Amino acid sequence: MFKLIEKKSNFLSDKALKIFIYLGAVMIIGTTVVTQILLQTGGGVRDEPIDLSDQVPDMFDYLAVFPDGLPGWISSGGVFPPENLIFNVGLKMGGILYIIIGLDLFLRTNSKLNTKSVNEKRYNFISLICTSMAGLNIFLLTFFPMDKSLIFHLICAFSIFIPVVIWTFTLFYSRKNIDAEIKFRNYNLNNIRKYIALMSLFSFLLMVFGNHRIAGISAVGSIIGEWSLMFMSQFQVLTLIPVIEKNKYN
């Protein structure tokens, strides 16, 4: 079956892929930003202390107590109504879209690689695994809100974050030669992708080690890292648009 898939160059038209990319970005960015605004401005129970320590081992219970309400993490927008409805619908749709985009991108990239492009083929296959994992876990995340299923929520979250960071690099390496001549606003597309990948890695590290309860610095660092990683991943997806535009003239 895999051999059969490899023979296809794509299953979405350029126009459809472009729509899916924009729609996916709107779903992810729009959903997370809107739900966060509602969380921060809604007041009421959102500002009350939240204790989730009963969901974690005793040695980590201090990490799950929030005396001023949930911090501004993306997942906090999926806890209270009505924003949790937007969160659940938006991320489910976004997850499905990115699985489809990832498969179509895999086919397009694979069709342009020759038999000597062994490393690029490996990176492309890793990209497919990463987009599938990230998309699936974006979808699954909505079934495990952090206030009710914290451990499963964290497993899903890191099953998104880690593949996303890896994907920002594997996309760059798998298409480095294919897109070598493409520019966006006079900037080489490969350079843009490389900087986005490095920023994604930095954002992930800031997210993990930027929590004041772990690293002794403000939790704001962790929040900024998570949001930055989300935006960097979307920017990397959007780097496919100049490639699609170039195809129009070929």
Range of the domain at 159: 2-243
Q: Does residue 248 belong to any structural domain of this protein?
A: no
**Tokens 């493409």, located at residue:** 182
Q: Is the peptide bond before 82 cis (omega within 30 degrees of 0)?
A: yes
- pLDDT tens digits for range 85-99: 999 999 999 999 999
- The verdict on residue 233 lying in a domain is yes
Domain total for the chain?
1
State residue 9's pLDDT score: 77
Give strand pairing partners of 50: 66
Burial of residue 85 (number of CB atoms within 10 Å: 0-12, 13-18, 19+)? exposed
Q: Is residue 249 part of a domain?
A: no
Would you state the pLDDT for residue 220? Answer: 83
* DSSP assignments along 110-145, one per residue: HHT--TT-HHHHHHHHHHHHHHHHHHHHHHHHTTS-
Q: What pTM, to 2 d.p., does this model score? A: 0.92
Residue 10 DSSP symbol: -
Phi-psi region of 216 (alpha: psi -120 to 50; beta: other; left: phi over 0): left
pLDDT value at position 132?
A: 98
pLDDT at residue number 1 = 45
pLDDT in tens, 22-75: 999 999 999 999 999 999 999 999 999 999 999 988 877 777 888 888 989 999
Q: For position 102, what pLDDT does the model report?
A: 98
The reply to whether 158 falls in a domain is yes
Residue numbers in the chain where pLDDT is lower than 50: 1-2, 4, 214-217
Residue 250 lies in a domain: no
